Chain A
Amino acid sequence: MSENGVLVRGATLQKHFGGIMAVDAVEFAVTEGDLIGLIGPNGSGKTTLINLLTGHLIPDAGEVYLRGRRVNGLPAHGFAAQGIARTFQLTQLFGRMTVLENMLVPGLTRPHSTWGAVTKRARTYLEFLNLAHLETLNAKNLSGGQHKLLELGRALMLEPAVLFLDEPFAGVHPHLRDELIKRIHELHRSGRTFVVVDHDMESILRIAQRLVVMARGRKIADGPPALVRADQTVLAAYSGL
């Protein structure tokens, strides 16, 4: 590790789609042990930033560093191999594969992994996420909330250094949202690093230790939640001023 525990860093990242600047000169660093809330109104560039930092998009300008090493152009599977895991805004599971098979895929991409060891680990995580009794079901047959949990489990199977969760609470029953927050807290306490993306300020404030706010493709605030909440620029962005 280098740069004082910085695991992932985006330097002056820029990405545009047609005439729209989705991410504009954004500086973003994730340090080991962080639990970052990344918020912003719809269309503020949160998901694009995550896509840039996980290899799903290549920046038009700027650099991406993993543990201090420049990795621009590294494909998404390369990021996963380096311990960068993510979930998607709209859950993307392997629908016609069983819950257990969904968990096995990332586990078996790890070097020197064996079916026995990976299956055992998958079942441990399924127990942790209360999905163990569903392991033989096809993923498409789960409820929306269970989809979110399974996607989290699949990301955990990479034994990641950083987990980027893109809108994990979207469309989820409030009771399930509480359970998800509980699991994220437990995982964070066990040493995981998280970046949780959402536009629901209330949920994010319940977990984030650091808050980053984006609006119109730019980072407009970064700091402790209490300070960011009181920031006039943030209030203006959220009220559409």
Chain B
Amino acid sequence: MRGLPVYVLLAATVTLLAYAHLLNSYWMHVAIIAMFYGILASSWSLLAGYAGLFSLGHMAFASLGGYASALLVQWYGIPIPFGMAAGVALCCAIGGLIGWVCLRMSGPYLAIFTLAFSEIVRITFSTEDQVTAGMAGLHTEPLFHSVSRLPYFFTAFGLLAFSLAVMGAIVHSRWGLFFRAVREDEQAAAASGVRVAQFRILAFAIASGFAGLAGGFYAHYIGILTPSLGSLDLMAVVVVMTIIGGMERIPTAVGGAFGVEILQELLRAYGQWRLVIFGIILLLTMRFARNGLLTPLWIQFVRLGEVRSVPPPPRDVGQEGSRI
């Protein structure tokens, strides 16, 4: 992406940051949570959309990152950023390990394996209540001792921007190309010289690290952590956000997170029916727009300001032979 779309994005970002203080506390909270989900959806997009690893354990890593940071800060009194960094490192390590354990799994087998892992993490946090306070909730050290949510808003924005910059650099590098090759055909990727096992592990480690980062921030923003952070319900929310936005592009996944989070609030009056509405949107997306609802819009946006070249004269393609 270059040229006009970059300027438009920059202008929109600067405007948003400049006028952020005008948001009331409620909508600022919605925006912060949307950015939290933005990190989760974009990293899940890296894992499932780019590398083709349909993991259902992503929220377990958010939970691990959150608890690791909260407990380290509580036990050792280390600064919160160090606690969050430790949570990220732990999630990278465990994510890589999970990636290694399920090297030969794909599709439903991988989904079920990671779902089982996720449940193990959730039940462990729930059961070990002497350490984690279980379902009563672990009180965490707040990131800022401020009444205003504005510092959290800027922190969430910074973390989201950092995550998108790093993941954007990865998907546009040769690693991104290799992730997609592994997604398309592992055997052909190996025959092309791609270290399939290494890149599968790498995808798990990177995505888990970002999930841990989101979880760490959430822990020190919300102030209380429960094992339900790693529940299948929240995993489903991340999946819905990513698929509705478009799982094969990181910006569309973030767009999906924002769209769904904001819609969740706007439709709050409909109670549980709003979840039915999301289910229907998901079904329609899977049926009619498998690349996500935002992908065509994003493609048009990226092409803004592109100079259209004169198309080349048509080739004679009457016979298959003439096309070689």
Contact = CB atoms under 8 A, between A and B. Distances in A.
B179 to A, nearest CB: 11
B190 A105 contact: no
Nearest to B185: A92
Nearest to B319: A175
A77 B194 contact: yes
B323 A106 contact: no
A216 interface: no
B188 A88 contact: yes
B contact face: mostly helix, strand, loop, or mixed? helix
A110 B174 CA distance: 11
Contact of B320 (A109, A129, A176): A176
B303 to A, nearest CB: 13
A225 interface: no
B323 A143 contact: yes
B318 to A, nearest CB: 12
B188 A93 contact: yes
A56 B320 contact: no
Contacts of B185: 92-95
A110 B319 contact: no
B183 to A, nearest CB: 8
A146 B192 contact: no
B191 A95 contact: no
Interface string A97-138: 100010011101110000100000000000001110100000
A175 B193 CA distance: 31
Contact of A143 (B189, B194, B195, B320): B320
Residue of B178, B319, B320 most packed against chain A (CB within 10 A): B320
Nearest to A144: B320
B324 A105 contact: no
B165 to A, nearest CB: 19
A145 B320 contact: yes
A105 B178 contact: yes
Nearest to B192: A106
Interface in A168-197: 173, 175-176, 179
Nearest to A115: B174
Contact of A110 (B191, B193, B197): B193
Nearest to A158: B193
A104 B324 contact: no
Given A94-B181, A97-B181, A129 B324 contact: yes
A77 B187 contact: no
Given A77-B195, A94-B180, A109-B193, A175 B188 contact: no
Interface-central residue, A88, A108, A173, by most chain B CB under 10 Å: A108
A76 to B, nearest CB: 4
A211 interface: no
Contact of A80 (B180, B190, B324): B190
A106 B193 contact: yes
B193 to A, nearest CB: 3
30 contacts: A55-B190, A56-B187, A76-B187, A76-B190, A77-B193, A77-B195, A77-B196, A80-B193, A81-B193, A85-B191, A88-B188, A92-B187, A94-B180, A95-B185, A101-B177, A101-B180, A104-B177, A105-B194, A108-B174, A110-B193, A130-B323, A131-B324, A143-B320, A145-B320, A149-B324, A154-B188, A158-B193, A173-B320, A173-B321, A176-B321
Interface of B: 174, 177-178, 180-181, 184-185, 187-197, 312, 315, 319-321, 323-324
